[in-house]
Structure 1
Amino acid sequence: MSMRLALAAGEGGLALPETGPLVVFHPRAGTDLMVLPRDRCLLVQPFRPDYETFATAGWTVDWHLPAGQRCAAALVFVPRAKRQAQALIAQAAACCDGLVVVDGAKTDGTDSLWREVRKRVPVLGSLSKAHGRIFWFMADAEAFADWVAPEAQAIEGFVTAPGVFSADGIDPASRLLVESLPPHLGAHVADLGAGWGYLSTHLLQDDRLKSLEVVEADRIALSCAEQNIHDPRARFHWADATRFKPDQPLDAVVMNPPFHTERSADPGLGQAFITAAARILSPRGQLWLVANRHLPYETVLARAFVEHREVAGDNRFKILQAARPVRSRG
């Protein structure tokens, strides 16, 4: 990650308060936080792998801002989704009694946010460096009242939230997967990378299903899934899907795995999901997944399963089914 925060606090004129708590919203693993006093910081990070990285390093971390939390300064690391970035800035401005600092890559729209913020409040300082920008201003909750995220937003009857995958509509790839699944996959099934629960909701329509593991690394998305699913057979796990360990081997895994690291395509993510599925399935278990057509998943499927095939698809997506994992124990 860039050194913009350190540069701003050094020669850029950013003066963070010497007393009082600091709240840091959505820092990513690898973000340089060395200029911050660790004993006064609360990191808000809902993504489980990053949460664990910071917690292991000794930071105080929570997946959401506790009710009533106030701070002397707040820092926002800009996420990819503009609506989520605006909501975080509004949240920071509402909980803060001093400076709000915003830092992010230009490819994540930070320059656009900077221009929009300048129309609302005086920006006290700004530094453009390392393909990104950091800027700061005094907190003013009223100035960003229209950026506050709604308590819930609904699409086609489902609750979603800004920044989660497919927040504004059902993902067409997931819809295609639902249309391609057989009516019964087994008694014990997992939805890896479940998001806000669209695939899980469909799987729970099977009366013969006994348990469904709903696994999602984004705690905000998982909270949406908990609101969308009211079935005692569903068990919710805030966990990295690539490291998830169920209580027993599973009959089936269903997934629409992610394939991006920030803005860069990373097929290794989906490949890691496939390897994880093979590890947690029973010897005769099966995997069903949807993927963008160009993603090279067939090679890892051939290594991890005795058999695999494409069962459906179109010019954008492919539905892949694999059975009999080569390694069915972790």
Structure 2
Amino acid sequence: MATVVRLDAPGCVTIAEEPDPPLHATGVRLRTLYSGISAGTELTQYRGTNAHVVKTWDADTRLFVPARPAAAYPAVVGYEEVGEVVEVGGEVDAVRPGQVVWGAWGHRSTTVVEQEYAAARVLAPGADPVLGIFSHIGAVALNVVLDADLHVGETVVVFGLGVVGQIVAQLARRNGARVVAVDALPDRLELARRLGAEVTLDAREGRVAEQVRELTAGRGADVAVEVSGNPKALHEAVRTVAYNARVVTGGFYQGEARGLFLGEEFHHNRVDLVCSQISGVAPRHAHRWDRARLNATVIDLAVAEHLRLRPLVSHVVPFTDAAWAYDLIDRRPEQVVQVVLGFAAPDGCDHRHGDA
């Protein structure tokens, strides 16, 4: 049997068992080592605010229709996993037991994948296996940077310094941009400074747009990236960029966008508002970039230490404490960045109070 972390209803996390998938000839059985909890999409499912929970997505028209889906719960969630190969089918020759594989298969203790899937996602020997949980969320951040179309010498302002924002800030620096990092949580601002942001601004103090203009000789930012999912932050991002500049929205906004005033700077400064969403890549890049390349690029950069992802892990907790972990993320965001569920703890340690 596979042990799974399941959302039975908004705010209700349970541990359940499901039949383990049978191993077929080309299958690879993985034992999960770690699984990251997304503080974006997953948290909206936990809170019951996700659009897929309150409405139904019509795949043919690509429209949400006002009908509550019948099967929103229970659900096995999670899309940031890394595991060890423990068994292979008789026709498998591309991977072997003991190798570590990253991917997305939900908060579950074991799974079976095709050998082609596993072979394309083998983590380099000796790499910290926790890095494997960043393949998807890191790809989200990399896709944002591709949409931002940054250039050497430009100033980019990153609003929201959760996991995605911290990775965006690091990738923007590697693109040659000067990074201004904005958040309302002091610990996240300090983390961004440690990871290389040149300027950090506390959103609680206000005047972000004015301060950025002071930093840019009155011009404003070349690009702003909004990844907090807060409409008020999006409005400030619009205020922060220069005339004819770009704002990239990677945040997952819930409900009405109160606090966003499109008749003000957005209209008068001809701001280009770009949506970045991981289901697709910008048309100008789509012939060269896809999800697989985004995922693999992030992992390669992390293993080579060009991206510092391990410091983003604030907590590693036993998967049996999943309900506690979701509640922590929901109620005390100032205490967390990336929370990871451990499905195997050889050291026997309880890291509920932080592992960074």
For normalisation by structure 1, the TM-score amounts to 0.34
Which structure ranks higher in relative contact order (CA pairs < 8 Å, sequence separation ≥ 6)? 2
